Amino acid sequence: MLKITHIDVYYGDLQALWDVSLTIGEGEIVTLVGSNGAGKSTLMNTISGLLKIRVGSIEFRGIRLDSLPAHSIVEHGISMVPEGRRIFPQMTVLENLEMGASIHAARKVRQKTLKEIYEVFPILGERAKQRAGTLSGGEQQMLAIGRALMSQPKGLLIDEMSLGLSPLVVQELSRVIQGINKANKLTIFVVEQDVPLALSMAHRGYVIENGRIVDEGDAKSLLCSARIKEAYLGTA
Chain contacts with other proteins (rule: CB under 8 A): 48-50, 69-71, 74-75, 79-80, 82, 86-91, 95, 98-100, 102-103, 106-107, 131, 133-134, 147-148, 150-151
Query: How far apart are CB 118 and other proteins at their closest, in Å?
Result: 18
Query: How far apart are CB 28 and other proteins at their closest, in Å?
Result: 22
Q: Tell me the sheet residues that pair with 226.
A: none
Query: How far apart are CB 133 and other proteins at their closest, in Å?
Result: 3
Closest to other proteins by CB, 64 or 71? 71
Closest to other proteins by CB, 80 or 223? 80
Closest to other proteins by CB, 132 or 197? 132
DSSP string covering the chain:
-EEEEEEEEEETTEEEEEEEEEEE-TT-EEEEE--TTSSHHHHHHHHTTSS-EEEEEEEETTEE-TTS-HHHHHHTTEEEE-TT----TTSBHHHHHHHHT-SHHHHHTHHHHHHHHHHH-HHHHHTTTSBGGGS-HHHHHHHHHHHHHTT--SEEEEE-TTTT--HHHHHHHHHHHHHHHHHH--EEEEEES-HHHHHHH-SEEEEEETTEEEEEEEHHHHHH-HHHHHHHSS--
Closest to other proteins by CB, 58 or 195? 58
To the nearest 10°, report the CA torsion of 217, 222, 226, 230: 120
CB atoms within 10 A of CB 6: 12
Query: How far apart are CB 217 and other proteins at their closest, in Å?
Result: 30
Query: How far apart are CB 187 and other proteins at their closest, in Å?
Result: 17
Closest to other proteins by CB, 18 or 88? 88
Query: How far apart are CB 53 and other proteins at their closest, in Å?
Result: 18
Closest to other proteins by CB, 187 or 213? 187
